[in-house]
Structure formats: C-alpha cells, structure tokens
Amino acid sequence: MRQAFKVIGPLLGAALAMTACGSSSSNASSTATTAATATTSSSSSGSGSSGSDYGLKLNADGTPNLKGVTLHLGISGGNPVPGDTTNYVLAQILKSWGATVSYTIGGGPSMQLAVVSGQLDAADGQFSSSLDAGLQIIAPAMTHVDDVLVSSKFTSVSQLKGATVATSSNLDPGNYLGGVLSKAQGWGANGIKMTFTGADSSTVDQLISGHLTTAFVAAEDLVTLKAHGTFNVLKTAAQISPDYADSFNAALPSWVKTHQSDVLAIDLAWWAAAKVFDTNPTSWDNYAEQYTNNAATPAAVKLERQALAQFNPWPNTPADASSILSNAVIQTNYAANLAAGQMKGAGLNRSASSMADLGPWQQSAKIAAQYPSIY
C-alpha cells in the first residue's frame, strides 16, 4: 500500500464511502465460490472459538457460510489506486460467501480512528497507525511493500554511494528502505542521501522531467515512467527487506476476541483474493475499475496489474503463510517503524503478544491448503 501523504483524510463521517457494488458477483473469480450450495448452517457472528475453525461453518466446497454475518470494513488508501484493489476484492469475496459487507475508503489514519470508535470492525492501513490506535493485526494486506528503486542514471546499486535518492516523505516506506539498503552496502545509514518530494505523483513527475534521477516509486508507476524514458529497476522492496509489509488489516482486540470466526473468514477471503490476482487477471481488472470508480482506463489498469505482478505482491500458497504473517514478520515491521520514527502513540509501548492474533491466520492456511481450487 502506498499512503497518499498529501491527502489528509477527514474522519469517517466525511470520508469517501464505497459500498460493495451489487454487480460485482458477475465479475467474481471462480475461486470465490458462492454459498448457494451450502450444506451446513451459518455461523453466528461473534461466536468465538469453537473447535479448530473457531466456530466458522464451512460448506462442502470449503467456502465459509456467512449468511447473517455483517462486516464493516475500511481501507486507508487515500485516493483509490489499482494497486490497493486486492483488499477490495477481499470484501467482495466475503459478500459472495453470504456476508453483508460495507466498505469505506479514507485517507491517513481515519479508518483506524473509525475502528476505535466502533464505526468499522476492521481496516487495512499503515502498521504504525494501527498500533498507535491500539488495534491488533489480524490479516496481511500486501505481503511486502510495492516500492521499487528506479534510476535513469544508474544501472546498479553499487553506484549509489553518496547519491541522492527521492521518495515522497520521511514517513514513506522508501525512506526506511533507503537506510536499510545503505547499511546492507556497508555505507552506513547515511551512505545514500534521501530527499522528499511531498507526494508519489511529484516523485514521478520529477523523474520524468529529469529533476531527479533516482527514486523509490510504486511498482505501478513503472507504467508511466517507461512511457517517458528509460528507467532501470535497481532493487525491489522485497529484495531490500523481504518482511517489510507497511500495511495490514487490524481490529480492536476486544472485537478480535469475540469475533474469531469473522477473523478467520477475513483471512480466508485474503487467500481467495490473492488467488484472483494470481490466476484470474480479467476478474481482478474488473474489480480494479470498480474500486477506482473507473478513474483509470481498462488499458491502464491492465498495465498496472502487469507491473505489480512482476514483483509477486500476493503469493498465495499456504506454504508461504509464516513468511506472509508471523511473529517474526510483526517484529520486523515493528522495529522498522520504530527506527523510522513512525510510532508516535500507544504503539511505542505495545507488548509483542498484543500486536497480533495469529491463531485464525494459521488456521486459514490449513484450510487453504485443503481446498486449493478455492484458495
């Protein structure tokens, strides 16, 4: 997820609201099988842990039966861009399984504040914002930051010592990645000089105009850059810091404790949404057009998805579960946010055990392995 740092979102009451489109089922991937052929009864929201599936009832085909479940979800995506579509697909898949889902888009930490106030059940957003708000991680967003380091001048990282590298702000993932890369090269924390443009779009514009030669940009920005010149991809975020994910889905600990079946359903929807991206590009493109309200043309959406796909942002095999979300991943991101000075409030004093509830996630991986055609 790329945060739109120039867009300071209002609180939920004035945020751009987007409920799940009624026509989305016509675009749904075959992996998002509906609950129409349910052979078991629905789970009740908030049932808590009951057996290995936390009280969640599965249909014969491996999909949850979510009839009677209502979920209010959000994403701190600022201005909707195709790269954040998979979390929107997650919401649509929950609908296809029988849940009633509302989906809200807001800027900055407004979605985390909406979770705290009880207006939302869970929201995808920046790691530091979630922990500062007292929330608990329940599911991934992307499995790693979708940043890439590009240059019109350099062809290798080894040439960057003493060079100026841009990113949108000191809170942008690129700033942290620049420091990690510099240390890995043996140059110390300041071997690369970081500069800030104010917004991702400004970074792209300055690269095209030649005012900048080297910068961290979102993977989908490569579509625009390559249309205006030659830009070498020197490193991807996953290569620089594989466990650094930037954003996660989170909820209040009290809600997580009493809604374990719903958390498991959200986790299963994550696996199914990742599968849509990896195996059903036409469906994902249709969802992206819905999510962005057709702000990007179908051709542009396709190109941006292809750019993202190069960097494997949503590996969806259950064998990857521990590398996607685990205590080690949480600790890596916590340390990264502390080092970057992004933790400002309650997150500074969080215990390791309070940051995430990984039981449902681990169970979701077992279910996903059992039903590979769905997940």
- For 362-374, give the DSSP string: HHHHHHHHH-TTT
**What does pTM read for this prediction?**
0.83
The upper half-sphere exposure of residue 351, i.e. CA atoms within 13 Å in the direction of its Cβ, equals: 3
pLDDT in tens, 105-116: 998 789 999 999
- Write down which residue in 208, 240, 272 finishes a domain: 240
Does 308 fall in a domain?
yes
Number of domains in the chain: 2
The candidate with the shortest Cα–Cα distance to 80, out of 130, 163, 16, is 16
Does 7 fall in a domain?
no
Which two three-digit tokens encode residue 196?
């800030």
Say which DSSP state 267 is in: H
Does 255 fall in a domain?
yes
Domain containing residue 215? 147-240
Does 39 fall in a domain?
yes
Confidence of residue 42 (pLDDT cuts 50, 70, 90): very low
Q: Is the pLDDT of residue 20 over 70?
A: no
pLDDT in tens, 186-216: 999 889 999 999 999 999 999 999 999 999 9
- Write down which residue in 240, 265, 287 finishes a domain: 240
Does 3 fall in a domain?
no
Task: Kindly state the average pLDDT of the residues 239-257.
Answer: 95
Which two three-digit tokens encode residue 353?
């055990």
One domain, residues 360 and 299: yes
Q: Is the pLDDT of residue 313 over 80?
A: yes
One domain, residues 344 and 258: yes
Q: Is the pLDDT of residue 52 over 90?
A: no
Q: Could you give the CA distance from residue 139 to residue 356 in angstroms, rounded to a whole number?
A: 9
pLDDT in tens, 81-107: 888 899 999 999 999 999 999 999 998
One domain, residues 25 and 123: yes
Q: Is the pLDDT of residue 45 over 60?
A: no
Does 269 fall in a domain?
yes
Q: Could you give the CA distance from residue 356 to residue 188 in angstroms, rounded to a whole number?
A: 32
One domain, residues 133 and 225: no
One domain, residues 119 and 154: no
Confidence of residue 23 (pLDDT cuts 50, 70, 90): very low
One domain, residues 101 and 152: no
Q: Is the pLDDT of residue 4 over 70?
A: no
Name the one residue in this structure whose structure tokens are 């888009």.
Answer: 105
One domain, residues 186 and 113: no
One domain, residues 20 and 125: yes
CA distances in angstroms from 9 to 77, 117, 127, 210, listed in the order given: 10, 16, 17, 31
The upper half-sphere exposure of residue 112, i.e. CA atoms within 13 Å in the direction of its Cβ, equals: 27
Confidence of residue 36 (pLDDT cuts 50, 70, 90): very low
Domain CATH for 151: 3.40.190.10
One domain, residues 140 and 261: yes
Residue-level pLDDT at 226 = 93
One domain, residues 174 and 251: no
One domain, residues 288 and 338: yes
Task: Kindly state the average pLDDT of the residues 335-364.
Answer: 91
Does 164 fall in a domain?
yes
One domain, residues 152 and 210: yes
Confidence of residue 35 (pLDDT cuts 50, 70, 90): very low
Give the mean pLDDT of the chain.
Answer: 86
| Helix residue spans in 97-172 (DSSP H) | 110-116, 127-132
- Write down which residue in 207, 240, 273 finishes a domain: 240
Does 5 fall in a domain?
no
